[in-house]
Structure 1
Amino acid sequence: MPDSHESASAPARFGPLDFQLVLLRRMADHNPGLVEDARRELGVTIAGMREANRRWQAMTRSPRTRGAAARYRSVLGTPDTVRRTIGDLECEALLWPVPLWPDLRFEVLLAPTGAVWNEWLIRTPGAPGPSLRTLADLTPWSCTVDEAARAFPPARPLEGTAPTRWRLAFSAPQEQGGERHRCVAEFTWGLLQRVSFPDGEP
């Protein structure tokens, strides 16, 4: 019989709730207020969020860590699977629900070799996306990288500041039919965080 003290003190399994805290932790630099509201919605303390991030970092950096795809399956459970064609290659996409954002899915894109190509939030396949016509529509957490790129072509990808961050440069009007202004949209885990203006506020 296992020692009861050891069982009681063993860390709980790292699961979907903890992973949502990891997503939020990365977004706190840009939108601390939204992150705070989401943390409270999940019923987790600030210390709990920090601990989830610490455990995630330990998992990803451990010399005994499994591959990224296997790690996500272990944490998030069995995914939905779809086939995607990128250029001349057909690849597999793994999709998991994210309760904080019911219309989004966390996607892990696998190369034909099984290596992870990309990992971010996307709109749930078949779900209606946001109506993006002007700068006013580009509010935090309103859209994904792909949605912004489609709404304001031609969008140009820029180098991100971290592996979980993306940036897009494009032009968008303040009002429909108005003058377009150059801007840079910043995303964390594929979700819009903020928009900045290289030429100053429009």
Structure 2
Amino acid sequence: MGFGVREFELTLMHRMRDLNAAKVEEALDGMGATRAELRAAHAHWTRLAHAPRGPKGAAALRMALGPPACRERRPVGSLTCDVLRWVLPSWPELEFEALVGPGRELWNQWFVRPAGGGPLTLPELLPWTCVVADVGISFPGAVQLEGPAPHHWAVDFDHDGVAYRARFVYGLHQRLDRR
């Protein structure tokens, strides 16, 4: 089995199943993929990540996704990092971003909105359509939290007197819960 964009998307969806299994099932149907293919892609990616001679960090992403559509440098505190971004077919309005540190280590990987975005209303917080930054600009006072598993995030915010927690996997909105 080769490992390309389709397999990478399936690997992302494997983790997204933790919070939004129904959306993943819908996407699998749309891709003509099976749960077995999803599991196989995840297992392959995991083997690559742990293989002594396998590509690591941004090299692994380039192996799967090809050259990034966008590459830039960004200051982060006193350091300057490389930012690499790819467009993935399942999320064409967003980009998958990798932040690479000065020692070539992969610091972060998640979805971003390439052109930024305007504020969203609560009904516009639909799964797989917005990213962490969208919630931050839409609801003043929103607070980012680490999630309970790798690549999970949460953002707590209040709206009209109700406390909410938006849950994300790889920075992509999965679910909105009342707190």
Whether TM exceeds 0.5 here: the answer is yes
Partner of 1:101: 91
1:89 paired residue number: 79
Contact 2:98–2:109 (CA<8 Å) still a contact in 1? yes
Report the 3-state secondary structure (helix = DSSP H, G, I; strand = E; otherwise coil) of the residue aligned with 2:92: coil
SS at structure 2 position matched to 1:196: strand
Equivalent position of 1:180 in the other structure: 161
In 2, the alpha carbon distance for the partners of 1:169 and 1:131 equals 16
Contact in 2 for aligned 1:131/1:137 (Cα 8 Å): no
- Aligned counterparts of 1:143 and 1:153: Cα–Cα separation in 2: 16
Post-superposition Cα deviations, 1:148-168, rounded to whole Å, max 9, x if no partner, equal 111112221222111210111
Q: Distance in 1 between matches of 2:106 and 2:76?
A: 14
Q: 1:35 aligns with which of 17, 24, 27?
A: 24
What is the match of residue 154 of structure 1?
A: 141
CA shift, 1:131, in A, is 4.7
Q: Deviations over 1:42-72 (max 9, x none)?
A: 1212211111111111111223333211111
Greater radius of gyration (CA): 1
Residue in 2 aligned with 1:137? 124
Query: Aligned partners of 1:184, 1:20: CA distance in 2, in Å?
Result: 25
Q: 8 Å contact 2:136–2:142 — kept in the other structure?
A: yes
Measured after TM superposition, the shift of residue 130 of structure 1 is 6.3
* C-alpha distance in 1 between matches for 2:10 and 2:94: 16
When the two chains are superposed, the root-mean-square deviation of aligned CA atoms in Å is 1.7
Q: Distance in 2 between matches of 1:111 and 1:29?
A: 28
Question: Match of 1:103, SS?
Answer: strand
- Percent of residue pairs bearing the same amino acid type: 39
* TM-score, normalisation: structure 1: 0.81
In structure 2, distance between residues paired with 1:140 and 1:90: 32
Residue 115 of structure 1 aligns with which residue?
105
Residue 172 (structure 2) pairs with residue 196 (structure 1): no
Moved over 6 A (4+): none
Partner of 1:6: none
Unaligned runs of 5+ in 2: none
Name the CA shift for 1:153/1:88 in 2 (closer, same or farther; >3 Å): farther
Q: How does 1:43-58 map to 2 (within 5 A)?
A: 43-58=32-47
Query: What code does the residue aligned with 1:136 have?
Result: P
Q: Secondary structure at the match of 1:162?
A: coil
